[in-house]
Amino acid sequence: MLTLRNIKVWDTDEIIDLKVPTDGTLFEDGARDAEGGNGDIEIDATGLTLAPGFADPHVHFRDPGQTYKESMVSGCAAAASGGYTDVLIMPNTVPAMDGEMIDDPDAPGAKEVLDSGYDTVIDYLQHYEAIHGVSLPVRYDLCVCASKGRAGREATEFKHWRRYMPGVDDESKDDAQLAHPVTAISDDGSAVTPGILDDVLELARESGLCLIEHCEHHDTGAVNEGPVSRELGVPGIPEDTELKVVARDIAKARETGVHVHFQHVSTAISFDAIRAAKAEGLPITCETAPHYLALSDEALLKYGTLAKMNPPLRSEADRKATIAAIADGTVDLLATDHAPHTMEEKARGFLEAPNGIIGLECAYGVCHAKLVDGGFISEKRLIELMSIEPMRLMGHEPTDITALLDRETDASREPDAKRVLDLTQPGEADGIGLVVLDTAAAWTVDPEAFHSKARNTPFGGWRVTGRPMATIIGRNLTFSRL
């Protein structure tokens, strides 16, 4: 058993003790596991904070089809080490996660799925742990494609993925199907194409799921259009390529009443449009990512293709506008858009290198250093942006620590006695997701120490503050660097 004495509850500042079983713990380096085994370990946690676990509704784990970049095992380990208890897996797997049965055994990635005994990517991912004989340290939901094959030509068919939704025929589902439902629709990596937008919005309306929209479309260009693109001699992407998708979908949300959530918003003009839509009362939410608040397109000159992403890094003015949108509440949540690639792929140059960076293992530190240390938001607001709001977008209730304490507190306890959250005792624990944070920790980002297979990040060597120290799901310590 691990006992953390004098830990602070994130939203009430109450000082409590926390007891957690250590069976099955994934320690960072194995040292404490070898030393302490399953015995009792007691730590003075004065200065540490207990918060609801982080959630990321925007990750790419490349499994099936591109496991040389990332797998469910490595992606979930990266998430747990970053303090995440819940993630939403985007549908640009290979084959795409569209609910359709795989009928071509020679298609890329098909063999992994078919050899498992299943014939859809959704079934494969839902039963991943049983198929591979592993226990993953993070809970995950699945996002279904908006278009068949994610090709943008024809909307997916509701009948092919309806059964995977929560609350649909639950009595006939096994535990894995119940644990990993389809909770959103997206063609992430691409905006929903104009020709099928109405059909996709009807899917969202009929299913009650949110449309998670990649708010960017361009046919040419590799980096943000401006002085940096001209200095590099690389074709630029105008900032209004993002606004065109945002404005289009806001109009559709007004027309249909469908909830549209915009991913990785990056420009001042898009934030202005979203701010106005929210003031109008439209069902619009949005996220941004750590790299858009921490970096501008000038980072391309220093980091090269490690700073190439889609949407591209924008101007310094847009970076400041991103922070302002976070501070004034226009941004609902922070998501990483964790996008693993090999370093060989990233070395191909600006025109050919794939877009994206990894971010799960340093997101809290980067955001804390820029937003909290920068004086733009509070410690509590950062936790809301990384935990409370993402969980709600995914349709889950975030863990209420005070409610747990109230339920477990002995009525005979002295009024002024310190309360104990004892996760070693039997009780209702399935929904618990917690992270232990050292908000004052200063540390250096080292990609070589990441649990992800990938290393494609511009944040290597950055000195940041705030670090997740342990991750807890249910009554299990799934990751610890205590």
Which sequence positions are flagged as catalytic? 337
Predicted pLDDT of residue 179: 96
Q: Indicate the pLDDT class of residue 239, thresholds 50, 70 and 90.
A: very high
Distance, CA of 374 to CA of 343 (rounded, Å): 31
Nearest residue to 280 via CA among 297, 296, 257, 301: 257
Record the tokens describing residue 453, joined without a space: 């297979």
Predicted pLDDT of residue 114: 97
**CA 329 from centre of chain:** 19
CA atoms within 13 A on the CB side of 210: 23
Identity of residue 114:
L
- The angle formed by the CA atoms of residues 425, 426 and 432, to the nearest 5 degrees, is 90
Q: Which residue has the higher pLDDT, 37 or 337?
A: 337
pLDDT > 50? residue 31? no
Record the tokens describing residue 228, joined without a space: 């940096």
Specify the DSSP class assigned to residue 368. Answer: I
Task: Collapse the DSSP code of 435 into the 3-class scheme (helix H, G, I; strand E, B; otherwise coil) and give the result.
Answer: strand
- Other residues' Cβ atoms within 10 Å of the Cβ of residue 390: 26
pLDDT > 70? residue 248? yes
Distance, CA of 12 to CA of 400 (rounded, Å): 11
What proportion of the chain, given as a percentage, has pLDDT over 90? Answer: 90
Q: Indicate the pLDDT class of residue 428, thresholds 50, 70 and 90.
A: low
49's enclosing H/E stretch is: strand 49-52
**CA 335 from centre of chain:** 5
Predicted pLDDT of residue 426: 74
Predicted pLDDT of residue 366: 98
- Tens of pLDDT, residue by residue over 322-376, are 999 999 999 999 999 999 999 999 999 999 999 999 999 999 999 999 999 999 9
What are the respective helix, strand and coil percentages of the chain, to the nearest 5?
Answer: 35, 20, 45
Task: Collapse the DSSP code of 473 into the 3-class scheme (helix H, G, I; strand E, B; otherwise coil) and give the result.
Answer: strand
Distance, CA of 316 to CA of 17 (rounded, Å): 44
The answer to whether the beta carbons of residues 322 and 376 sit under 8 Å apart is no
- Tens of pLDDT, residue by residue over 252-291, are 999 999 999 999 999 999 999 999 999 999 999 999 999 9
Predicted pLDDT of residue 253: 98
Predicted pLDDT of residue 24: 54
pLDDT > 90? residue 35? no
- Tens of pLDDT, residue by residue over 157-174, are 999 999 999 999 999 999
Distance, CA of 203 to CA of 196 (rounded, Å): 11
Predicted pLDDT of residue 38: 55
Predicted pLDDT of residue 274: 98
Please report, for the chain, the start and end positions of each structural domain, with discontinuous segments joined by +.
Answer: 52-398+435-471
Q: Is the peptide bond before 95 cis (omega within 30 degrees of 0)?
A: yes
79's enclosing H/E stretch is: helix 72-81
Nearest residue to 288 via CA among 312, 263, 255, 258: 263
Phi, psi of 131 (to 5 degrees): -60, -45
Q: Which residue has the higher pLDDT, 36 or 152?
A: 152
* Strand residues in 53-160 grouped as ranges (E): 54-59, 84-89, 139-145
Q: Indicate the pLDDT class of residue 29, thresholds 50, 70 and 90.
A: very low
pLDDT > 90? residue 142? yes
Specify the DSSP class assigned to residue 310. Answer: S
Predicted pLDDT of residue 414: 77
For residue 298, CA distances in Å to 185, 322, 338, 351 come to 34, 16, 21, 17
- Tens of pLDDT, residue by residue over 211-225, are 999 999 999 999 999
Distance, CA of 408 to CA of 457 (rounded, Å): 42
Q: Indicate the pLDDT class of residue 34, thresholds 50, 70 and 90.
A: very low
CATH number of 52-398+435-471: 3.20.20.140
pLDDT > 60? residue 120? yes
Phi, psi of 184 (to 5 degrees): -160, 165
